[in-house]
Amino acid sequence: MRLKPLFASVLTAAAVMSAAHAQERRVPNPTELRLSYAPVVQRVAPAVVNVYAAKTVQQVRNPLFDDPIFRRFFGAPGGPGGPNQVQRSLGSGVIADASGLIVTNVHVIEGADDIKVSLADKREFEASVVLKDPRTDLAILRLKDTRETFPFLDFANSDALEVGDIVLAIGNPFGVGQTVTHGIVSALARTQVGVSDYQFFIQTDAAINPGNSGGALVDLTGKLVGVNTAIFSRSGGSQGVGFAIPANMVQVVLTSAKSGGSAVKRPWLGAKLQAVTPEIADSMSLKRPAGALISSIVANGPAAKAGLKPGDVIISVDGQPVDDTNAFDYRFATRPLGGTSKLGTLRGGKEIAISIALQTAPETPREEITIRSRSPFSGAKVANLSPALADELQVQNADSGVVILDVDNGSYASNLGFQRGDVIDEVNGAKIARTGDLDRITKTPSAGWRINLIRGGQKISAVFNG
């Protein structure tokens, strides 16, 4: 008799559970069923473009072609340098302004004689380079011969990204046409990628392949969070480790382009930094090897005026953490010019906040020239060094004198091993203070050349025959 009510209660409970289970398994209506990124893609896709770059290169000429007997009997192509060949590269870009300004990577358009941009609606435009910033691998292009208003992407605050956020990558992988992939933010503040001076990347597992360079990485609101620029790959294709330049850095370059500048203007610290190693951390009684250690201060620079000292360790910029020198470079470079920034600093085991002015490094007339006279510097493009140029080239232990900007391939200077960033200190005992000094000395024939230069902060001496 007692089993009956118990059995009845069990049936009642089972009936309730069955009804609840049936409610959970009901067929959703079409609105609920459609979970899609399509609305975001439809909004973003028109602002992502394909970038085609072409450059003409001269093929290496066989020396036999210069022999008149060989040419007489066998014939040879005319011209002093052999036939020309056109090399083409393919990448992506993002329309960042309604007037037709486009962000892409420097490596996509480097050395190009002709640049074409194809929009999502299949129209093609020629484009010109407004600004190139090799330090970030970012370039700004402008569409030619057009006055229409173009769709463009708004920028997100990339510092607000978190690991696990969903992102979409849009570009033109392998030239197959505009393609969308999705993934998450796998990591932030990646600093060991090695593709530009500013090592501070967003890592994503959204598929990025050759041709995606310069394309958009967007969040689910359709805002640009980064510009895709590199992958880690053993096969050449996507293996789930891609890197994007944060939107906050892209904005700095775009702002400089809009202002009409030929170079990107960034805040200048006026100090040299070095990594905090475990050994340094132990010697300074730091809790962990993190931050950026000030090794030297430039006289009368912003750091000196703010009261920073050698031995200080910078651990934050305006509340954003600084784990290493790369993180500091990014955080400081993305601060707006004209105001101040607060640096969290460790000094003598205590944390202090130091306010520093956000101003550019002093610039002097560069007076760029290319040495053509017979000398070891033949084919070298040089300029007057200033704090601004020293910061741009990451020159150590020098902020005045004459620096090499570039070296022509195959030139005498190139064959002797001169490099971009070499600071020419003395030639044949004469101090080189301006480009005119070097030009004058190299025009004077000499049986030998004694040269002192600074490379990577180290002094080097060399002797060459005339």
Candidate list 92, 107, 256, 422, residue with the active-site label: 107
CA 210/CA 89 separation, integer angstroms: 10
SS3 call for 42: helix
Q: Minimal CA–CA distance to 293: which of 306, 278, 301?
A: 278
Catalytic pick among 89, 92, 196, 213: 213
Residue 322 Cα distances to 223, 290, 335, 354, 422, angstroms: 26, 7, 14, 15, 30
Examine the residue annotation and report whether 182 is marked as an active-site residue of this protein. no
Tokens of 107: 């490596």
Active site residue 107: yes
154 catalytic residue (yes or no):
no
Give long-range contacts, CB 8 A cutoff, 24+ apart: 354-357: 354/306, 354/307, 354/308, 355/306, 356/269, 356/302, 356/303, 356/306, 356/308, 357/302, 357/305, 357/306
Torsion of CA 186, 190, 195, 199, to 10 degrees: 150
Report how far Cα 359 is from the mean position of its chain's Cα atoms.
21
Answer for the pair 399, 385: CB distance below 8 angstroms, yes or no: yes
Which is catalytic among the residues 137, 219, 312, 329? 137
- Angle at 297 (CA atoms; ends 292, 300), nearest 5 degrees: 135
The catalytic residue positions are: 107, 137, 213
